[in-house]
Structure 1
Amino acid sequence: MLLLNIFETTLPLTNPVLKFLLILVIILFAPIILNKIKIPHLLGLIIAGALIGPNGINLMERDSSIILSGTAGLLYIMFLAGLEIDLADFKKNSKKSMVFGLYTFIIPMTLGTLAGLYILGFSVPSSVLLASMFASHTLIAYPLISKLGVAKNKAVNITVGGTLITDTLALLVLAVIVGMTTGEVNAAFWIRMTGSIIVFGLIVMLLFPIIGRWFLKRFDDNVSQYIFVLVMVFLGAVLAEMAGIEAIIGAFLAGLALNRLIPHTSPLMNRIEFVGNAIFIPFFLIGVGMLIDYRAFFKDFETIKVAGVMIVVATSAKFLAAYITQKSFKFSIDERRLIFGLSNAQAAATLAAVLVGYNIIVGETESGEPIRLLSESILNGTILMILFTCTHATFVAQKGAKNIVLLDSTDTSIDEEENQERILIPISNIETTDELINLGVTIKSKKNKEGLYALSIVDNSSLDDSKHKQAKKILSKAAVTASATDTILHELLRYDLNLVNGITSVVKEHKITDLILGLHISKGISDSFLGNLTEGILTKCNSTTLIYKAAQPFGTIKRHIIIVPEHAEKEIGFPFWIIKVWNIARNSGAKLVFYASVETLKFIREIQSKHPIECEFEDFNDWDDFLILARNFHQDDNLVLVLSRKDKPSFHNSMTKIPSYLNKYFKATSYILIYPMQAGVTDNSQIDLKNPAITEPLEKLDEIGKTIAKIFKRK
């Protein structure tokens, strides 16, 4: 009887279980089916929404639940855009973003106003409001571009920054037009709006990072951290609405504010992207599809005329803005496709503007019919424009992104296996496991998908089975932490009488290139520890070795203070550890502050010019004055010390005092000690940074490795 009650229903569906099941089936199968005929999955969800919606076969209404989920999805898209943006590149290209933002606002505003006045015969307020709809855009194609791995392309960064500018200006135009039609535009209106926007911006950009850092330091529960992020997204959106601007601006700024606190390789970032791409964003796209009314094509000629003008003007204006931006900054054709594809789709802000304009009554006809600021033909035309621009923009963006990926990709053949990056993390303490794995994920190359190894060593002489179980438990925890970032971790359990022998044997057996050792937060670093390390591991293997003590979550660190010894650039391992440091900045967004000699800083500056990250450079030569640096050290800083084995070019006698300095002055802070690869440690190799044996492995890491290889070949 219960089954009959469930399935005996009329259309549209009202049973919440059936409705949710239908949406999940669409999210699952629509992309799969349409991808076979080369239709992007984003467009597939929009088409599916149109089919099941009230203007299609009416399986489902666009009710409050769909609107709520869709609004969350839209805010999610804007939040992800702010969260994934490369802040260093964003700052470097801020002027370009401003220029593009003005191009993509002024050109549509100009063409749209002229089209409204002279082609469609609208009034000035209606024409200006219509033009503001063309000026704004929604980053519909952003999830697709992010999935293809080009979200950090400079053209994408510029477009995302320009989106903030043009959407803000377009929505301000909307507020002004509404104020003019209701007679509220006066000095008090401008003062109130300007003041509220400034207060809103200061709260989000200054207060949100402080709140975020405080929370993430104190609460490490996965669910709590994710819910906290959602709270900040919607809080930013609410504050934006209170300031008189659209919620999407608040969500985007919330993403920017939390950008540095959520490393791109962290488990939290992976959860944010997963839930957004699996649930929230598909709900938004399906909701957009439900607005599409194919019958509008056949209603009357006026709707077709208005829709045609809107589509042509909006598409032409956005293409013109993208074309001028391409020529202004010498972008490639594919980068222009990215800009145009991201900026051509009309949805969120456009819908907000047309619905506001449609609901404003400016008069009545002789028969008593209401005269609206934006007529019903514009409302229907807007729906058709959304369908066309979302479809066209998705195809264009996908083509540009795929071409860029193909251009940047290099095939990795089987004979390159010898030069693959392999990172080994010996673990023995379950409390430090997460941070050690997170550091490994952060420093690895983007191309390294399976080169992470966790090692647990059990005393071979012990008969205690509990040690074996504990080792397996720690390895399992490490694997779970790595899997949360979509990283494959190889679990290695080894029985050995000696810890050093166990580690060095695994390094040789698995051709390990990088070694990460952990220190417990409550323990200092002793002279005997470094002595045993130097005499043991560092003399028996020549991997880049990092010793890490985590006093706080890695994502909450503001700056990494990097102390580099003189002549470090002459060492064979210099390019390899510098790549690790660069990856820390790229994946965490934290600032790097280098203290090094003038000659060393020249190399680092050249790398920074080609791969911008937020850096500061300080001339530093005298390690006897090392303690002076402690004065410039702040609470949320991480100290990175590049050390050397004895009798090597970059060794300094003051390095022997490092343990006592760290225990006395840096006991409550995080630090990383780096021992680079050095010539003559395990063989008689010479220091020759032009040697193909050094440059070829660099070139196979990623774009930074290629750049460093070219620099050393040239030098």
Structure 2
Amino acid sequence: MLSIVAIIGKWIAAFITQKVLRYNAMQRRLIFGLSSSHAAAILAVILVGYNAKILDDNILNGTIILILITCIVASIVTENAAKKILITEQQNPDDNKDEILNEHILLPIANITNIEHLLDFALYIKNNKSPNPVSILSCIPNDENAENNVLITKGELERFVRQASAREKKANIIITLDHNPASGIARTSKEIMADIIIIGWPRKQGMLDKIIGDKVENIINNTDKTIFICQLNRPFVNHKRLIVIAPPHAEKESGFIIWLSKIHTLATELNLPVILYSNNITSQATAEILKHKTPVLPFNTVYIDAWEDLLIAKDIRKDDIIVLTLARKGSLSFMNQLEQIPDKLEKHYPVNTKILIYPQRYSHHYKVSGYEGYASGTINKGIATIQKLGKDIGSLLKSEKKK
């Protein structure tokens, strides 16, 4: 009963605020979600009363349940309202124009034998009008052999700079010292203000990777850049079609125009037809963007409703490039159903060239007026808050029993 009264009271307050300030229903829900949780203040008041023997155990237990319920409700409501507010906003295609023209591609390498195909891909999608080179990054452990390894690595990478020059494209070498490659990549991407990161397909996880965390996952979580993860199994000229799979709301991501522009460039360079797997809304948004590109790139759409059955597609051939756009957790287009798709792609289409795209989440130009400070991952923060509160309350109760 206490929790119900607390939630209703906060909703009434949000409703009054909406009417006074003339907000819409979604803004009211956001206010309600942000204000409905009870934690530090109420816990302090109740503990003072409990220690003074004014309140009994029933009141203390009821307060703990109140904190639990209101924190969960607040997280869920805020997450839902923030997403719907973002979905109703429209992104101006011209907002990303300067970013595309001044793009900076970062190409980290873990194995020098795989760099040639990845560099080919980077040079294919690079905007010729961008003054920035493709930056080839090597992370070297900061140990007693660091200086010697820097010289050896720089010498090995020089031929790839010459390879880029032969195609009238610019490339440079960046070598950073870091015991953690994922940390070095994330830091360097910020230092050079890279827009796109291109990395190779991750190898199978060993026991050590599972303990300390997968390198690719750490790069995804620690950067907000557009990331291309590539498994390039054959030369690009041997492909016949480009299969692009885009989940619902992919068009609402900040990096939508960036990765779509790269797909347009790749398809144009290779003269490949594009087949888009998506829903109707994403298909329309894609058509709207592509009609402003030169040359005009025609594409066919295969509409998908059941994303669980995505890999049952019978018409994917061995000479197709499969491009799957995913999203970081908390993003508008994130879908739990797609979490295991990369592993299934590797299992069902082992010989195909595969590219995973994680669009950037934020942009210097892309802002939703009045909501720049709200993160979409509130549910995760809410759960962490609840767990911390549970530990704190447990510690307090234990100390009371000892007294």
TM-score (norm 1): 0.35
Q: Give the structure 1 partner of residue 56 of structure 2.
A: none
Q: Indicate the structure (1 or 2) with the bigger Cα radius of gyration.
A: 1
How far is the alpha carbon of 1:462 from its aligned partner?
5.3
Q: Give the structure 2 partner of residue 564 of structure 1.
A: 246
CA distance in 2: counterparts of 1:525 and 1:662, whole angstroms = 16
What aligned pairs does 1:510-659 form with structure 2 within 5 A after superposition? 510-519=192-201, 523=203, 532-533=214-215, 535-611=217-293, 612-629=296-313, 631-659=314-342
How far is the alpha carbon of 1:608 from its aligned partner?
3.5
Task: Say what the alpha-carbon RMSD is for the aligned residues.
Answer: 2.9
How far is the alpha carbon of 1:538 from its aligned partner?
2.0
Aligned to 1:431, the other structure's residue is in SS state helix
Task: Deviation per CA, 1:522-541: give whole Å up to 9, x if none.
Answer: x5589969x63565222222
Q: Which one-letter code corresponds to 2:346 in the other structure?
A: N
**Structure 2 residue 345 is the aligned partner of structure 1 residue 665:** no
How far is the alpha carbon of 1:417 from its aligned partner?
9.2
Aligned to 1:548, the other structure's residue is in SS state strand
Gaps of 5+ in 2: 1-97, 373-403
Q: Which one-letter code corresponds to 2:201 in the other structure?
A: L
CA distance in 2: counterparts of 1:421 and 1:647, whole angstroms = 25
CA distance in 2: counterparts of 1:622 and 1:455, whole angstroms = 40
- Which fold has the larger relative contact order, with Cα–Cα distance below 8 Å and residues 6 or more apart in sequence? 2
Asked whether the 8 Å contact 1:426–1:455 carries over to 2, the reply is yes
Aligned to 2:340, the other structure's residue is in SS state helix
Asked whether the 8 Å contact 2:257–2:289 carries over to 1, the reply is no
CA gap of 1:477–1:610, structure 2 versus 1, over 3 A, is same
Asked whether the 8 Å contact 2:318–2:349 carries over to 1, the reply is no
Aligned to 1:593, the other structure's residue is in SS state strand
CA gap of 1:535–1:664, structure 2 versus 1, over 3 A, is closer
How far is the alpha carbon of 1:621 from its aligned partner?
3.2
Of Structure 1 and Structure 2, the greater strand share is in: 2
CA distance in 1: counterparts of 2:158 and 2:289, whole angstroms = 38
Asked whether the 8 Å contact 1:426–1:516 carries over to 2, the reply is yes
CA distance in 1: counterparts of 2:310 and 2:315, whole angstroms = 11
Gaps of 5+ in 1: 1-415, 692-715
Task: Deviation per CA, 1:64-100: give whole Å up to 9, x if none.
Answer: xxxxxxxxxxxxxxxxxxxxxxxxxxxxxxxxxxxxx
How far is the alpha carbon of 1:577 from its aligned partner?
0.9
How far is the alpha carbon of 1:464 from its aligned partner?
7.0
Aligned to 2:339, the other structure's residue is in SS state helix
Asked whether the 8 Å contact 1:565–1:621 carries over to 2, the reply is no
Q: Give the structure 1 partner of residue 189 of structure 2.
A: 507
Q: Give the structure 2 partner of residue 382 of structure 1.
A: none
CA distance in 2: counterparts of 1:687 and 1:586, whole angstroms = 33
How far is the alpha carbon of 1:446 from its aligned partner?
2.5
Asked whether the 8 Å contact 2:197–2:228 carries over to 1, the reply is yes
CA distance in 1: counterparts of 2:156 and 2:242, whole angstroms = 28
CA distance in 1: counterparts of 2:239 and 2:368, whole angstroms = 35
**Structure 2 residue 129 is the aligned partner of structure 1 residue 447:** yes
Q: Which one-letter code corresponds to 1:429 in the other structure?
A: N
CA distance in 1: counterparts of 2:355 and 2:248, whole angstroms = 18
CA gap of 1:467–1:632, structure 2 versus 1, over 3 A, is farther
CA distance in 2: counterparts of 1:428 and 1:563, whole angstroms = 27
Q: Which one-letter code corresponds to 2:317 in the other structure?
A: H
CA gap of 1:622–1:418, structure 2 versus 1, over 3 A, is closer
How far is the alpha carbon of 1:622 from its aligned partner?
2.4
Asked whether the 8 Å contact 1:597–1:619 carries over to 2, the reply is yes
Asked whether the 8 Å contact 2:197–2:227 carries over to 1, the reply is yes
Q: Give the structure 2 partner of residue 431 of structure 1.
A: 113
Q: Which one-letter code corresponds to 1:647 in the other structure?
A: G
Aligned to 2:267, the other structure's residue is in SS state helix
How far is the alpha carbon of 1:467 from its aligned partner?
4.0
Asked whether the 8 Å contact 2:101–2:129 carries over to 1, the reply is no
Q: 1:420 aligns with which of 102, 106, 112?
A: 102
What aligned pairs does 1:279-358 form with structure 2 within 5 A after superposition? none
How far is the alpha carbon of 1:674 from its aligned partner?
0.3
CA distance in 1: counterparts of 2:268 and 2:107, whole angstroms = 21
Task: Deviation per CA, 1:7-55: give whole Å up to 9, x if none.
Answer: xxxxxxxxxxxxxxxxxxxxxxxxxxxxxxxxxxxxxxxxxxxxxxxxx
Q: Give the structure 1 partner of residue 158 of structure 2.
A: 476
CA gap of 1:533–1:650, structure 2 versus 1, over 3 A, is farther
CA gap of 1:473–1:555, structure 2 versus 1, over 3 A, is farther
Task: Deviation per CA, 1:155-180: give whole Å up to 9, x if none.
Answer: xxxxxxxxxxxxxxxxxxxxxxxxxx
How far is the alpha carbon of 1:590 from its aligned partner?
1.2
CA gap of 1:474–1:426, structure 2 versus 1, over 3 A, is farther
CA distance in 2: counterparts of 1:563 and 1:548, whole angstroms = 15
Q: Give the structure 2 partner of residue 352 of structure 1.
A: none
Aligned to 2:184, the other structure's residue is in SS state helix
Q: Which one-letter code corresponds to 1:640 in the other structure?
A: V
CA gap of 1:535–1:524, structure 2 versus 1, over 3 A, is closer
Aligned to 2:214, the other structure's residue is in SS state helix
How far is the alpha carbon of 1:556 from its aligned partner?
1.5
Asked whether the 8 Å contact 1:428–1:474 carries over to 2, the reply is no
Q: Which one-letter code corresponds to 1:603 in the other structure?
A: A
CA distance in 1: counterparts of 2:151 and 2:238, whole angstroms = 33
CA gap of 1:603–1:475, structure 2 versus 1, over 3 A, is same
Asked whether the 8 Å contact 2:239–2:321 carries over to 1, the reply is yes
Task: Deviation per CA, 1:650-696: give whole Å up to 9, x if none.
Answer: 0111222123202311222210000001149xx9x8557xx9xxxxx
Q: What is the percentage of aligned positions where both structures have the same residue?
A: 29
What aligned pairs does 1:4-19 form with structure 2 within 5 A after superposition? none
Q: Give the structure 2 partner of residue 291 of structure 1.
A: none
Aligned residues: 268
Asked whether the 8 Å contact 1:595–1:617 carries over to 2, the reply is yes
How far is the alpha carbon of 1:457 from its aligned partner?
1.2
What aligned pairs does 1:58-137 form with structure 2 within 5 A after superposition? none
How far is the alpha carbon of 1:591 from its aligned partner?
1.5
Asked whether the 8 Å contact 1:546–1:675 carries over to 2, the reply is yes
CA distance in 1: counterparts of 2:99 and 2:327, whole angstroms = 28
